[in-house]
Amino acid sequence: MESMIGLLKIKIIKGINLVVKDSSSSDPYVVITIGSQKVKTRHVKNNCNPSWNDEVTLAVYDLGTPINLTVYDKDTFTDDDKMGDAQIVINPYLEYVKAGLEPLSTGSVVDKIHPSRENSLSDTSRIVWKDGKLVQDMVLRLNNVATGEVEIQLEWVNVPGARGLTS
Query: What's the whole-model pTM score?
Result: 0.94
Tell me which residue of 22, 70, 69 sits closest to 45, measured CA to CA: 22
Could you tell me if 99 and 93 are in contact, meaning their C-beta atoms sit under 8 angstroms apart?
no
* Interval 151-162 mean pLDDT: 93
Structure confidence by residue, pLDDT tens digits, 20-36: 998 899 999 999 999 99
Could you tell me if 67 and 90 are in contact, meaning their C-beta atoms sit under 8 angstroms apart?
yes
Structure confidence by residue, pLDDT tens digits, 49-95: 999 999 999 999 998 899 999 999 999 899 999 999 999 999 999 99
The pLDDT value recorded for residue 1 is 61
The pLDDT value recorded for residue 22 is 85
Instruction: Give domain status of residue 61, yes or no.
Output: yes
Q: Tell me how far CA of residue 129 lies from CA of 16, 69, 105, 122, in angstroms.
A: 25, 24, 7, 22
Instruction: Give domain status of residue 167, yes or no.
Output: no
Q: Which domain holds residue 13?
A: 6-157
Structure confidence by residue, pLDDT tens digits, 99-115: 888 888 999 999 999 99
CATH of residue 101: 2.60.40.150
Could you tell me if 3 and 162 are in contact, meaning their C-beta atoms sit under 8 angstroms apart?
yes
Specify the number of domains making up the chain: 1
Instruction: Give domain status of residue 118, yes or no.
Output: yes
